[in-house]
Amino acid sequence: MGGSPAVLGGLGVLGFLAILEVVPRIGLVDARFFPPFSEMAVALGEQLGTAGFWTDLLATLRGWFLGLAIAAGAAVLIGIAIGSSTLLRTYTASTIEFLRPIPSVALIPLAVLLYGTGMEATLLLVVYASFWQMLVQVLYGAQDVDPVTRDTARSFRFSTWRRIRSVLWPTALPYVITGFRLAASVALVLEVSGELIIGSPGIGNRLAAAQTAGAVDTLYALVIVTGVLGVLVNLLARFTERRVLRWHPSQRQEATS
């Protein structure tokens, strides 16, 4: 039944675009607020031709990357420090559980006070949100170490450093990578929202400008850009996962089947 997934997927994309084109044309929704896809595509083409668009895109990517890198570095260091000590783990659990669900956008007023509308304000949100995503994964990973392996390492009198490198890290790595994949998309969401609300430079800020100017087709074009960015971030994270975990059973199995 059915064709190959690639063909069906292609059909799905075409069908989706056709719906976007037809629905406003036959008047199901108001074309002033929901222009047909062809008009969005024209606006997208115009955007791609302006230098300002590329400057903003670069600013968004820079903020995303910087925030993610800071959060990942801090989460791995702190996560391993906490994860390798039972004492630290029991005493920090409640605090981590408390701080984690605090919505990062609650920090927007504070970020604006401290940094105005500069990129640091948005960076603060990105780092805060993606840090917790990763830290929790690192901690799960550190907990998952096989007790036999841990005891073996101990009876061989491995140094702490060696134990972290050759016992804890390989066990935690798949979790770290999952955390990274989650954090990568969360960081993008917060980067764009920060730009949108705070007004720091980037695609989100450009979107806000399009809204104020009432340029509806440009607005949709920029939303499409953010969606494409999101897809690319997911693909990149998945690709990294496969590369880094080549040795891991979950990936090896996938390759042979």
Partner 1 sequence: MTALSRAAQVLALPVLLVLAWWFATANSTSFYWPPLSEILGSVHGTWFEGRLTTDVLPSLGRLLAGYAVAVVLGVGLGVLAGSSRTFRAIAEPPLEFLRAIPPPVLVPILILLAGVGDQMKILVIATGCLWPILLNTIEGVRAVDPVLRDAAAAYRLSLPTRVRTVILRGASPQIAAGCRQALSIGLILMVISEMFAATNGLGFTTIQFQRSFAIPEMWSGIILLGVIGVLLALVFRLVEGWLLGWYHALRAAERKG
Residues that bind partner 1 (CB under 8 A): 1-2, 5, 8-13, 15-16, 29, 33-34, 90-95, 97-98, 100-110, 112-114, 185, 188-189, 192-193, 196-197, 204, 207-208, 210-211, 216, 219-220, 222-223, 226-231, 233-234
Q: What is the DSSP letter of 106?
A: G
Cα–Cα distance measured from residue 166 to residue 17, given in angstroms and rounded to the nearest whole number = 50
Instruction: Find out whether 139 and 172 touch, Cβ atoms under 8 Å.
Output: no
CB 38 to partner 1: min, Å: 17
CB 156 to partner 1: min, Å: 26
Instruction: Find out whether 67 and 126 touch, Cβ atoms under 8 Å.
Output: yes
CB 155 to partner 1: min, Å: 24
Rounded to an integer, what is the distance from CA 241 to the centroid of its chain? 14
CB-nearer residue toward partner 1: 45 or 109: 109
Provide the angle, in degrees to the nearest 10, between the axes of the packed helices 169-198 and 108-115. 70
CB 211 to partner 1: min, Å: 4
Which phi and psi angles does 45 have, rounded to 5°? -60, -45
CB-nearer residue toward partner 1: 90 or 256: 90
CB-nearer residue toward partner 1: 119 or 132: 132
Instruction: Find out whether 122 and 64 touch, Cβ atoms under 8 Å.
Output: no
Record the tokens describing residue 63, joined without a space: 């903020």
Beta carbons within 8 Å of 92's beta carbon, 6+ residues apart:
82
220 to each of 43, 186, 200, how far by Cα in Å?
8, 21, 20
CB-nearer residue toward partner 1: 84 or 234: 234
Cα–Cα distance measured from residue 21 to residue 60, given in angstroms and rounded to the nearest whole number = 29
Instruction: Find out whether 37 and 17 touch, Cβ atoms under 8 Å.
Output: yes
CB-nearer residue toward partner 1: 95 or 159: 95
CB 30 to partner 1: min, Å: 8
CB-nearer residue toward partner 1: 32 or 157: 32
CB-nearer residue toward partner 1: 48 or 235: 235
Gap between the terminal Cα atoms of the chain:
22
Question: 89: closest CA among 98, 102, 79?
Answer: 79
CB 46 to partner 1: min, Å: 18
CB 247 to partner 1: min, Å: 24
